[in-house]
Amino acid sequence: MSDTTVRAEVQESVQHLMEVAQAQGLDDDLVVALLRESADLINRRQPRGGALSTEQVNYLVESGAFSEGEFAQIEAGVARGDLVQTERTTRLAAITETLSAAEVALRLGLDASRIRHRQAKGGLYAFLSGGKRRYPTWQLTNDSGQPVLPGLAAVVKALPGDMHPASVQGFMTTPQANLSVSGELMTPVEWLRNGGNPQVLVGILSSVLQS
């Protein structure tokens, strides 16, 4: 296959992605963010069957995908490259499940400048991807009276600055051992949504920083 043919197919695929995204009501910034993240993952690609780096191991533990003890049982999966694929899938999913400032503004009934100001003050969590700020949907609710998770600001302030957005999403959407109600484990999102003390989450994050 010639380089010209490959380039044409790539352009056609990108155009198809844009058309699908638009048909689903997604903004172009999301597509750009996904493409940029895909390029970064390719740039960081490791050969099939290679060992995971310390950074990748830490990422997978922080994201809630695996515990440290489980790694001994999945060495065969590492050899097949399963964990690397999990990392790629999780990182892209973290971007897919986000909104632009304009979309958040529409959802909260505010203008985009208010959303950016709120994020700058720590009232919302966002991260840069493709040169644009993306706002994860896990921090929003379907309650018109309380459209943002209660206690969110305290948690946003406690998040480690170098914690990858996918790890943040993994933490917020994975049941935690320290969050239990009537013997049932809860995710941080569920904990806050049900009126749980955000300082409990701050404590968990502090222990992560100290470990």
* Under 8 Å between Cβ of 210 and 201: no
115 three-state secondary structure: helix
* Under 8 Å between Cβ of 92 and 34: yes
**Which uninterrupted H or E stretch holds 184?**
strand 184-186
89 three-state secondary structure: helix
Cα–Cα nearest to 172, from 94, 58, 87? 94
Q: Please give the Cα distance from 36 to 84 (Å, whole number).
A: 18
Q: Please give the Cα distance from 152 to 155 (Å, whole number).
A: 5
The end-to-end CA distance of the chain, in Å, is: 51
Tell which phi-psi region holds residue 60, choosing left (phi > 0), alpha (psi between -120 and 50) or beta. Answer: alpha
What's the whole-model pTM score?
Answer: 0.67
Cα–Cα nearest to 138, from 188, 103, 184? 188
Residue by residue, pLDDT tens for the chain (211 residues) are 555 654 666 566 556 566 656 666 667 777 667 666 566 655 655 444 445 566 666 666 666 656 666 655 554 554 444 445 555 667 777 788 899 999 999 999 999 999 999 999 999 999 998 788 999 999 999 998 999 999 999 999 999 988 888 889 999 999 988 898 888 899 999 999 999 999 999 999 988 766 5
